[in-house]
């Protein structure tokens, strides 16, 4: 049975409202704060900063932007400075630096959005596995692409945390960077700082399911737990009525060839997993198809279950990520030229609401990736590895983060999560110890890769990827 809390705002409902409906927590910020955003060239930065600046009754403080790419950092500093002037006046100052050590001192919150060697690696992270028969849609959180992104990204992340332990040991670290589970697990094994992983798949999925069930989101009752991108909606109800029979009926019809609703996507992988395993999963069908061994191992299965874009398109991320990055840069240029407005409604991203709840002492719940034995406590999900990272409902208030005990997942759902957690365990160790052997073992256990390749083929593929990444993977043995 899942544990429950009675916060002032229960994100079992409010975390999934539209941007315009989110109004902020009651109370007044008691002090100015310092927020450091790492990887400030990220597309997340404008909206995350906008959310912080639009926090009601804020005492203000400093937003410090950090990025190793000065050409991307300066435009972002100007955009955030304009936002601050527009939304908060003199209460906030905005600074920017390419050297994090010059700005970390005294930080209360670190928001991590770093991207390491993205443009130079995204193509071969996809093309090398494809030659071995491993077809990826996204390839940035699991599988060959996710593993090597983790190997590149975790060491710089741990270096940031090491500096933070010295310069701002009181800071709360909010991580948005993928591969989420690998990043948070490596951090949990390397630092005493509280590190929490934030994703928006839970918010989005609950909204999708409310629409499919034909109920108001704020009236839907639900529980969700698992690991990032494989969290299970273990309970869905409306006024005590189980919503799953209706959703199951819809899924059977659509998998048999019936059209889905005009506003919806086919989402066939998630619907099929729901029918066979008993609950809906929180990430898109394209992402999910990479976490399980069932849907991407043969061309006929890809044709049967996968659809365009995030619904399962082959090489979707690798083919589009460079153009998405260029589009973000072009949008920033239009903002700075006065051709596009700067400023938005407060979004449903968690970071600003976590900060607000912690500072005001007003309880707020959300879903986060944390160590299963958070700060030495008992397991949050009893039948998942106790030394792994899980995604559960989490309360935050003046006392900090308090992940809530979920209990046990149904065994078939836990087994899907545990299979991926074995990969994360070895991947985190590979990144911490710079171990080629541990990385190969991680990839050998990956469910999709193992469904497509023999161990010898997996080792050959991994070594080829190490060679392609040699310039950006220093120190691996």
Q: Which sequence positions are flagged as catalytic?
A: 200
DSSP 376: G
CA–CA distance, 206 with 330 (Å, rounded to integer): 32
CB 302 within 8 A of CB 286: no
Give the residue ranges of DSSP H helices in 256-386.
268-277, 285-288, 299-305, 316-336, 351-360
Tokens 């700005």 -> residue: 103
CB 200 within 8 A of CB 44: no
Give the residue ranges of DSSP H helices in 54-109.
70-87
Listed residue (245, 239, 227) closest to 383, CA to CA: 227
Listed residue (205, 227, 226, 335) closest to 283, CA to CA: 205
Express the helix, strand and coil content of the chain in percent, nearest 5 each: 50, 15, 35
66: left (phi over 0), alpha (psi -120 to 50) or beta: beta
CB 24 within 8 A of CB 87: no
CA–CA distance, 161 with 187 (Å, rounded to integer): 8
Residues β-bridged to residue 225: 232
- Torsion angle of C-alpha atoms 301, 123, 229, 416, degrees rounded to 10: 50
Sign (positive or negative) of CA dihedral 313, 314, 317, 321: negative
Q: Are strands 195-197 and 172-175 parallel, antiparallel or unpaired?
A: parallel
Tokens read off for 26: 């009651």
Q: Number of helices (H) and strands (E) in the chain: give both, helices first.
A: 16, 13
* DSSP-based three-state secondary structure for 92: strand
Tokens 């990220």 -> residue: 42
CA–CA distance, 404 with 175 (Å, rounded to integer): 19
């Amino acid at each position: 049975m899942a544990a429950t809390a009675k916060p002032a705002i229960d994100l079992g409902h409010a975390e999934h409202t539209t941007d315009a409906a989110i109004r902020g927590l009651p109370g007044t910020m008691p002090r100015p704060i310092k927020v450091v955003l790492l990887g400030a060239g990220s597309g997340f930065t404008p909206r995350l900063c906008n959310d912080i600046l639009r926090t009601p009754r804020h005492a203000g403080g400093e937003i410090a932007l950090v990025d190793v790419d000065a050409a991307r950092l300066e435009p972002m500093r100007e955009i955030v400075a304009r936002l601050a002037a527009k939304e908060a006046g003199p209460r906030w100052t905005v600074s920017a630096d390419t050297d994090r050590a010059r700005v970390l001192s005294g930080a209360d919150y670190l928001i991590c959005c770093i991207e390491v060697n993205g443009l130079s690696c995204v193509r071969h992270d996809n093309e090398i596995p494809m030659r071995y028969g491993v077809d990826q849609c996204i390839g940035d959180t699991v599988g060959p692409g996710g593993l090597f992104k983790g190997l590149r990204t975790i060491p710089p992340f741990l270096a940031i945390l090491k500096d933070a332990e010295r310069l701002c040991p009181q800071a709360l670290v909010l991580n948005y960077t993928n591969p989420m589970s690998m990043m948070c697990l490596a951090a949990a094994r390397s630092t005493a700082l509280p590190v929490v992983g934030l994703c928006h798949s839970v918010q989005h999925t609950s909204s999708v399911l409310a629409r499919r069930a034909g109920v108001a989101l704020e009236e839907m009752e639900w529980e969700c737990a698992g690991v990032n991108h494989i969290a299970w909606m273990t309970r869905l109800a409306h006024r005590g009525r189980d919503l799953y029979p209706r959703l199951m009926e819809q899924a059977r019809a659509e998998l048999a060839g019936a059209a889905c609703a005009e506003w919806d996507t086919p989402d066939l992988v998630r619907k099929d997993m729901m029918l066979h395993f008993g609950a809906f999963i929180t990430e898109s069908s394209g992402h999910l198809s990479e976490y399980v061994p069932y849907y991407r191992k043969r061309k006929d299965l890809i044709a049967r279950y996968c659809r365009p874009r995030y619904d399962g398109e082959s090489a979707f991320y690798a083919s589009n990520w460079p153009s998405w990055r260029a589009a973000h840069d072009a949008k920033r240029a239009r903002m700075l030229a006065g051709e596009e407005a700067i400023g938005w409604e407060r979004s449903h991203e968690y970071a600003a609401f976590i900060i607000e709840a912690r500072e005001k002492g007003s309880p707020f719940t959300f879903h986060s990736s944390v160590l299963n034995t958070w700060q030495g406590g008992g397991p949050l999900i009893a039948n998942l590895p106790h030394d792994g990272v899980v995604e559960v409902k989490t309360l935050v208030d003046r006392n900090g983060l308090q992940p809530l005990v979920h209990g046990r997942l149904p065994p078939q759902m836990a087994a899907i999560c545990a299979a991926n957690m074995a990969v994360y365990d070895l991947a985190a160790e590979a990144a911490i110890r710079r171990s080629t052997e541990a990385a190969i073992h991680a990839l050998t256990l990956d469910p999709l890769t193992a469904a497509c390749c023999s161990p010898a083929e997996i080792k050959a593929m991994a070594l080829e990827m190490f060679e392609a990444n040699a310039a950006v993977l220093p120190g691996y043995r």
